[in-house]
């Protein structure tokens, strides 16, 4: 389990106190094996929270506990995938994987899982946007980590590629048993991928509402056309507008 407990964090600012409050006594829990999405207004602090959980930023007070250990620095127990390309363009797919692990069996396993086996000698520039994201996921999966943080990872892709990738990624992460935290502003993305969605307020950030998504796995693209999906899309959008 990942626990964010009573964190307070501010950035320097120009108000009367000299700072802008982002979090004040903010808490949340992420359960083992779940896919949790955070949805909130642009600039509310979602990426700041990612950086605190990842160990890149230190909260002024409170903290993050992962499986009983207090987090103060980045570590291999949590991996971040973001919108930017994290691949080394001058290295092949296989060489990008080899940087993460020397275990060829693990490399083969996750390249197979992400449908990249026959592209192992390609360079990133020879891959499509969706394939690059699958390679980033394979690199995250091959690390001996139970927790992957995704910060707007699909934002640069067009909708058709993105929706197909959602189906593939969800199947892969559920097979892996990893715990996933997704930060997104895309309501349909959050509904399709998540077990739970937390709607966040503006600063200082609070959890305004928790929405549990009941759809079984595996999930297919056709789910988006169902009445139940439309119902949850309306629920989430109404909750966002209400807050």
Residue 80's φ and ψ, nearest 5 degrees, are -110, 130
In the block, tokens 């993305």 appear at 189
Buried b (16+ CB within 10 A) or exposed e, 83-112: eeebbeeeebbbebbeebeeeeebbebbbe
- Paired sense of beta strands 61-66 and 2-12, if any: antiparallel
The model's pLDDT over 172-203, given as tens digits with 9 standing for 90+, comes to: 888 888 899 999 989 999 999 999 999 998 88
pLDDT digits (tens, 9 = 90+) for 15-64: 555 556 899 999 999 999 999 999 988 778 888 999 999 999 999 999 99
Higher per-residue confidence, 12 vs 196: 196
Q: DSSP code of 101?
A: -
Separation between Cα atoms, residue 21 and residue 202, nearest integer Å = 10
Asked if 115 contacts 134 with a C-beta cutoff of 8 angstroms, the reply is yes
What domains appear along the chain, each with residue ranges and CATH number? 2-73+180-242 (3.40.50.300)
Q: What is the pLDDT of residue 214?
A: 93
**Tokens 């309306």 sit at which residue?**
234
* More confident position, 233 or 18: 233
- pLDDT for 80-133, tens place per residue? 888 777 788 999 999 999 988 888 998 998 898 888 999 999 999 999 888 888
Average pLDDT over residues 72-85: 82
pLDDT at 14: 46
DSSP letter (8 states) at residue 163: H
């Amino acid at each position: 389990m990942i626990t964010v407990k009573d964190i307070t964090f501010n950035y320097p600012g120009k108000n009367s106190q000299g700072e802008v409050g982002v979090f004040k006594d903010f808490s949340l829990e992420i359960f083992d094996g779940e896919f949790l999405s955070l949805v909130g207004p642009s600039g509310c602090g979602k990426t700041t929270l990612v950086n605190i959980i990842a160990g890149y930023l230190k909260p002024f007070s409170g903290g993050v506990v992962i499986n009983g250990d207090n987090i103060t620095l980045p570590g291999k127990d949590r991996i971040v995938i973001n919108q930017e390309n994290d691949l080394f363009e001058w290295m092949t797919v296989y060489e990008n994987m080899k940087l993460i692990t020397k275990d060829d069996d693990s490399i083969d396993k996750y390249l197979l899982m992400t449908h990249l086996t026959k592209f192992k000698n390609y360079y990133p520039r020879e891959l499509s946007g969706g394939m690059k994201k699958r390679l980033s996921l394979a690199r995250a999966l091959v690390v001996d980590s139970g927790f992957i943080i995704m910060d707007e990872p699909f934002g640069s892709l067009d909708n058709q590629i993105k929706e197909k990738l959602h189906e593939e990624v969800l199947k892969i992460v559920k097979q892996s048993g990893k715990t996933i935290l997704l930060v997104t502003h895309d309501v349909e993305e959050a509904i399709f991928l998540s077990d739970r969605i937390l709607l966040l307020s503006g600063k200082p950030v609070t959890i305004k509402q928790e929405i549990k998504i009941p759809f079984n796995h595996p999930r297919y693209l056709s789910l988006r056309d169902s009445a139940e999906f439309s119902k949850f899309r309306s629920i989430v959008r109404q909750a966002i507008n209400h807050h």
